[in-house]
């Protein structure tokens, strides 16, 4: 496909009237063609107005048409073939295998949401039938369902050019909820976004949907991003990125005449707690644990929101052996190309600040990569007393860096947990002998994280029904939600009750005949669609 460098607004290619921008190959800092024209705020309103026009028809689609649309997006992305992987690699420096896996995750979650739409429980149908004979007062017929919020603004993430980008988790869950999407492309991978944008536009067209169901826009992040969130047609925001940018969007959304929710996934240190039992056994066991840790820190050049930025290890001989094994493992690592020159620069500044902090030393350091923007992975070390007293040691470094913290008692760990900000994950490395020691940490961690892991590492987020990829602020802006898994659809829905509404006026999911064959909660009891239909036949 020939890349045109234009926004895709309601199915049309629109040349921006503002400045132009280019993608860059971070391995060489080479400028990539074509130039991308950036839209102005006046042009932005065409996308948001089209999304508002699309909402009435898109939000009421029947389940099969709706699910088929999501499946078609997945099919179209796969049909792009290797062109997508090549362009994404050029724009991000990420290796082919990583990008192939990310493409599979992107199409997989679209198909997962298609199954959610077909199954229909997300509609949350509840029916309390009328009780006219109830005393002392009769009960009205009251029915409830979840409806889509309206058009959603989604921002592409720098570190996932596919799975958290144009057709990524936020877009997939918003579309599955029945919300049109206006997608703000990340300027670091514009070509990748355009390729996927065309795949979505084709699915919209082939399904006969209103073209405003999806628009892809390019623009200056600070101005167009803020204008998008402030636009009255937008009813919710999905964002993955830095804490500063996420908070700026939250403030804009809160200051609107009609405030709207911002579901922002921002920063996280993902602490790992190693207990003494995990360090028993042969030296090979400690070496393996150290290698797993370093692999989690350095994978994708550490540019994962679940990269473990902290590791708490016990003092004493076993902890010393672990630190030595970590030093050996990281010294064998070579820096990988980071996503952009700016991100690499921020990593260097953060690593320098951490290395210069009081009480911090270098446990081990790898070597710089052969490409540009590929700094040497580094593991730092400190004592837990210094960690709890110095907030600089709590700052996230986005990239291949982490801090090993030596502790002595469970009370010290509890104190450190209480001082942590909200996190996406916490991991416990332990054996059965550590259960009594670890038990007090669980309720403390529940107040700080969205996912607790035992004998695993936080990288690698399964996309399923039970996953939570969220956590207390500042890991996310709304601690009650997840941006990964089927529960993510709930972010873009709200309940509406219908009291004494005639059958002829009721929305389809609430009608007595149950045309969409939904499972429903009737008078407090969950009734399967099949059982309800069988009961009606027998009656």
What CA–CA distance (Å, rounded) separates 337 from 465? 34
What CA–CA distance (Å, rounded) separates 180 from 238? 13
SS (HEC) of 449-517 = EEEEEECCCCCCCCCCCCCCCCCCCCCECCCCCCCCCHHHHHHHEEEEEEECCCHHHCCHHHCCCCCCC
Taking residue 42's Cβ as centre, other Cβ atoms within 10 Å add up to: 10
Taking residue 515's Cβ as centre, other Cβ atoms within 10 Å add up to: 10
Q: In what order do the strands lie in the sheet with 181-184?
A: 12-14, 7-9, 214-217, 181-184, 152-155, 236-240, 262-265
E strand or H helix at 299: none
Q: Which pairing describes strands 378-383 and 401-407: parallel, antiparallel, or unpaired?
A: parallel
Alpha helices in 146-282 (DSSP H): 169-177, 190-206, 221-230, 243-255
Active site residue 265: yes
User: Six-digit token pair at 63?
Assistant: 């389940």
Contact 475, 247 (CB under 8 A): no
User: Six-digit token pair at 44?
Assistant: 């932005």
The closest of 347, 476, 466 to 423, measured between CA atoms, is 476
- Report CA dihedral (471, 474, 476, 479) to the nearest 10 degrees: 50
What CA–CA distance (Å, rounded) separates 466 from 457? 17
Residues 6+ apart with CB under 8 A from 297: 307, 308, 330, 377, 379, 400, 401, 402
What CA–CA distance (Å, rounded) separates 73 from 41? 28
**Alpha-carbon Rg for the chain in angstroms:** 25
E strand or H helix at 524: none
Active site residue 284: no
Q: Active site residue: 179, 194, 305, 532, which one?
A: 305
Contact 520, 146 (CB under 8 A): no
User: Six-digit token pair at 338?
Assistant: 């980071």
Q: Active site residue: 102, 265, 396, 412, which one?
A: 265
User: Six-digit token pair at 500?
Assistant: 């004494």
Residues 6+ apart with CB under 8 A from 467: 451, 461, 482, 484, 485, 487
Total count of residues recorded for the chain = 539
The residue with tokens 């997962």 is 112
User: Six-digit token pair at 37?
Assistant: 């024209």
**Could you list the active site residues?**
265, 305
């Amino acid at each position: 496909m020939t890349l045109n460098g234009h926004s895709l607004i309601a199915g049309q290619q629109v040349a921006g009237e503002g400045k132009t921008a280019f993608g860059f190959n971070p391995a060489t800092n080479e400028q990539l063609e074509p130039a991308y024209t950036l839209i102005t705020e006046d042009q932005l309103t065409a996308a948001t107005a089209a999304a508002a026009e699309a909402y009435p028809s898109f939000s009421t689609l029947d389940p099969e048409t709706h699910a088929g649309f999501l499946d078609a997006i997945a099919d179209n992305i796969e049909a792009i073939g290797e062109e997508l992987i090549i362009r994404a690699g050029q724009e991000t420096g990420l290796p082919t295998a990583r990008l192939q896996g990310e493409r599979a995750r992107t199409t997989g979650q679209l198909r997962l949401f298609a199954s959610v739409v077909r199954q229909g429980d997300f509609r949350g149908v509840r029916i309390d039938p009328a009780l006219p004979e109830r005393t002392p007062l009769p009960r009205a017929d009251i029915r409830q369902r979840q409806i889509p919020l309206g058009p959603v603004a989604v921002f592409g993430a720098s570190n996932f050019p596919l799975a958290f980008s144009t057709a990524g988790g936020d877009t997939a869950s918003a579309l599955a909820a029945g919300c049109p999407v206006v997608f703000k492309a990340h300027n670091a991978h514009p070509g990748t976004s355009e390729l996927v944008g065309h795949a979505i536009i084709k699915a919209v067209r082939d399904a006969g949907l209103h073209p405003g169901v999806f628009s892809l826009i390019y623009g200056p992040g600070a101005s167009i991003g803020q204008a998008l969130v402030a636009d009255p047609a937008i009813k919710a925001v999905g964002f993955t990125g830095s804490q500063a940018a996420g908070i700026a969007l939250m403030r804009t959304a809160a200051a609107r005449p009609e405030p709207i929710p911002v579901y922002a996934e921002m920063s996280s240190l993902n602490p790992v707690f190693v207990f003494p039992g995990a360090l028993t056994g042969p030296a090979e066991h400690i070496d393996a644990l150290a290698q797993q840790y370093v692999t989690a820190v350095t994978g994708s050049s550490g540019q994962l929101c679940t990269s473990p930025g902290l590791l708490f290890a016990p003092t004493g001989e076993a902890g010393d052996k672990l630190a030595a094994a970590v030093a050996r493992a990281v010294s064998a690592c070579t820096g990988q190309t980071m996503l952009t020159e700016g991100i690499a620069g921020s990593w260097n500044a953060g690593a320098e600040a951490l290395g210069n902090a009081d009480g911090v030393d270098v446990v081990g350091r790898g070597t710089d990569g052969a490409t540009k923007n590929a700094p040497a992975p580094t593991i730092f070390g400190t004592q837990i007393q210094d960690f709890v007293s110095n907030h600089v040691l709590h700052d996230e470094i986005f990239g291949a860096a982490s801090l090993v913290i030596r502790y002595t008692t469970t009370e010290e760990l509890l104190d450190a947990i209480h001082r942590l900000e909200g996190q996406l994950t916490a991991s416990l490395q332990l054996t059965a002998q550590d259960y009594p020691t670890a038990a007090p940490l669980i309720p403390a961690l529940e107040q700080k994280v969205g996912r607790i892991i035992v004998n695993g590492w936080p990288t690698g987020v399964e996309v399923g029904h039970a996953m939570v990829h969220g956590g207390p602020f500042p890991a996310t802006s709304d601690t009650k939600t997840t941006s990964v898994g089927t529960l993510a659809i709930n972010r873009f829905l709200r309940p509406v009750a219908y009291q004494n509404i005639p059958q002829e006026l009721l929305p389809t999911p609430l009608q007595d005949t149950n045309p969409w064959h939904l499972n429903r909660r009737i008078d407090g009891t969950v009734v399967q669609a099949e059982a309800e239909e069988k009961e009606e036949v027998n009656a």
